[in-house]
A and B are shown apart, each in its own frame.
Chain A
Amino acid sequence: MIIRGNEPEQLRLLRKLYEPGNYFMQGNEAVAYGALFAGCRFYAGYPITPSSEIAETMARELPKLGGYYLQMEDEIGSIAAMVGASWTGFKVMTATAGPGFSLMQENLGYAVMTETPLVLVDVQRSGPSTGQATKGAQGDFFQARWGTHGDHPIVAVSPTSGQDAFWETIRAFNIAEKLRTPVVVLFDGVLAHTREQIKIPDVSEVEITYRKLPENEEEARLPFGDPHGDGVPPMPLFGHGYFTHVTGSTHKETGLRDVYTPEVHDRLVRRIHRKIEKNREVYEKYEEHFTEDAEILVVSWGVTARPALGAVLRAREEGIKVGLFVPKTVHPFPAERMRGLAKKARTILVAEMNLGQMIIEVERYVNDDVLLKGVNKIGGVPLTVEEILREIRGVA
């Protein structure tokens, strides 16, 4: 069993339900359709603004595809149910916003430790705490990275438009399945509620990945081993008679708990890190515009990357040598490319809807002789082209 349900039947249903073509829809709906095309057939969630339309779309569409929508009693239960369902073979997703993301952190760590594929969409809104529930923000950059406790890797992707959200959600599923790990989609309240034209492709244009399953009994007996040398163990699903033991405590390759031997913990946690570090080609992705001759480099992500591109285009018209770098996978950060670009630039502007978070990551790859400056705005209203352009002119 590679996928829950019959694959040709699923493709037939997707074709029948969602004719290829252009649709006018919200970013949140684009995330939901991306998940459906990626093969997600289990969604457990708890409503929270500005993510709720993802749940609503999944509740409406999943049954048509033979999939399951569960509204749990809270966010903690939601991610818990996802982990349970993932071990039965489902591709699973939930969507939430800041406060809900905070509640999910413990079980996000559980998913990292038990190497459970899942996709967690965080539609960022402003905080701290309840903040502005209906407004967008980009303040969860580090919550995604360091929200759960312990030494752990994380993969987080961040779409820059509604159309991008469709494809990035699919990519998030593919990364999760390939690396047997949770993947965070850092979306935001602005794009979530922006309605725009979104092209739904034919299912044949969508690349879909499935998790590796054990090839024989021996592999199934080592659910946390490394038989293929890529750090990613095949996943023996529940209900197949493997008698798999899964625990969030430090465990040996067999799954059995051993919290007393330092080497066991060291081996496990280092492998979980290694499988993310060594498989960069699976998830590393960024966009570049006019970077070849750029003296000024704008670095931006998510929603802010759009006005940033507008500002760069306008500045180019004025003859300013400015380029744009947009990491699409923000964790792990595209360090090597960033370092390369930073060598050529004399000024770097980091534009984001927070008081300076990704800039801390960028700073690690920038030499002292470069002027590094944040272009920041909070309050729920995104940065405008003019605001970013003004900053570019200021350093030109």
Chain B
Amino acid sequence: MAKKIYSTYPMVKYLRKEALPTALCPGCGGGTVLNAFANAIDGLKIDPKDLVVVSGIGCSAWIASPYFLADTLHTTHGRAIAFATGVKVGLPDKKVVVISGDGDLASIGGNHLLHAARRNIDITVILVNNFIYGMTGGQVAPTTPFGAKTTTSPYRNIEHPLQISETVAAAGASYVARWTTAHVYQLIGSIKKALQVKGFSLVEVISQCPVQFGRRNRMKEPAEMLRWFLKNSVPVSRARNMSPEELEGKFVIGEIVNRERPEFTTELNKLIDEVQEHFGLKGDGDV
């Protein structure tokens, strides 16, 4: 059955066939994200040879690694962006993409996320936010909605979720957008834009985890979760005129920021040029 689907799926050319079928649970939003990413790569006609994909630890880290057929670096928990920083400095002409989850990138890896945005290094981060630690069994995350139930907040979550996109935008990223897995075409559009932006770009994808999050919060069917996303999504333009109380529990979707700022690897190479020029080290001078 699985083999048949993969043989007719047009994006299968971007996948590492020996790693299929995927380990994702039925109904997981990870497949939608993988599909959107593959479509964006296909739409921009990016040669996968010009792509390095880096991920951390957790379900969402698997979306691109091992499944995506490119150079892939599957790293330690939370550190994907720091690893990707080294890759990007080494290969400034390649597209370096980080795909990982909220627990990985925004919790343990929160510091690297902020500083990569501040540095404005040309990396595209696709952050899959499913409100939960899926792979470890459904524990509370820094993105879990207030009041939601998880295995480690069995009564209710009394912490407030981190607004990842707004935080990264404030830290200095060039491009930030947020969509849900119910907004596939918009998501593909934003991933395309993010890949073309020269600077740090983040696409946050709110994604369903019916197995670990949904069934503990009265949404055990994937479709119920998608309906929940659609019902509570507010476009960023409308959200600007809403009070914090009105926005409680809502998902602000759309482009949060899109601006030009000096990019890190460009500046780094410019600096090296200037220094070599200054010390008379350029060209074939005296040997």
Q: Which residues of A contact B (CB under 8 A)?
A: 4, 12-13, 15-17, 42, 44, 63-64, 66-68, 70, 72-74, 76-78, 80-90, 92, 106-107, 110, 238-239, 241-249, 254, 256-257
B237 at the interface (CB under 8 A from A): no
Whether B74 and A249, one on each chain, are in contact in the complex, defined by CB atoms closer than 8 angstroms, is yes
In the complex, the number of residue pairs spanning A and B with C-beta atoms less than 8 Å apart equals 149
Nearest A residue to B286, CB-CB? A16
Given contacts A80-B83, A85-B89, 11 further A-B contacts (CB under 8 A): A64-B275, A66-B272, A70-B85, A76-B82, A77-B111, A81-B86, A84-B54, A92-B86, A238-B87, A244-B72, A246-B73
Q: 1/0 contact trace for B270-284 toward A, CB 8 Å?
A: 011001100101001
Give chain A residues whose Cβ lies under 8 Å from the Cβ of B115. Answer: 72-73, 77
Nearest B residue to A248, CB-CB? B76
Q: 1/0 contact trace for B245-287 toward A, CB 8 Å?
A: 0000000000000000000000010011001100101001111
Whether A90 and B90, one on each chain, are in contact in the complex, defined by CB atoms closer than 8 angstroms, is yes
Nearest B residue to A107, CB-CB? B76
Main secondary structure of the interface of A (DSSP, over half): mixed
Given contacts A66-B276, A73-B111, A243-B48, contact A85 B66 (CB under 8 A): no
Nearest B residue to A73, CB-CB? B115
B84 at the interface (CB under 8 A from A): yes
Q: State the CA gap A268–B82 with chains docked (Å).
A: 26
Nearest A residue to B73, CB-CB? A246
B75 at the interface (CB under 8 A from A): yes
Whether B66 and A81, one on each chain, are in contact in the complex, defined by CB atoms closer than 8 angstroms, is no
Give chain A residues whose Cβ lies under 8 Å from the Cβ of B69. Answer: 243
Given contacts A66-B272, A80-B79, A87-B73, contact A247 B66 (CB under 8 A): yes
Nearest B residue to A68, CB-CB? B89
Q: 9 closest A-B pairs (Cβ-Cβ)?
A: A88-B90, A84-B86, A81-B86, A80-B82, A85-B86, A77-B82, A247-B74, A63-B275, A241-B49
Q: Which of B16, B84, B89 has the most CB of A within 10 A?
A: B89
B19 at the interface (CB under 8 A from A): yes
B184 at the interface (CB under 8 A from A): no
Given contacts A77-B115, A247-B66, contact A89 B72 (CB under 8 A): no
B112 at the interface (CB under 8 A from A): yes
22 contacts between A and B (CB under 8 A): A16-B281, A16-B286, A42-B90, A77-B112, A77-B115, A80-B79, A80-B85, A81-B83, A84-B85, A84-B88, A84-B90, A85-B86, A87-B71, A88-B90, A242-B71, A243-B69, A245-B16, A245-B74, A246-B73, A254-B18, A256-B16, A256-B18
Shortest C-beta distance, A204 to chain B (Å), equals: 13
Shortest C-beta distance, B77 to chain A (Å), equals: 8
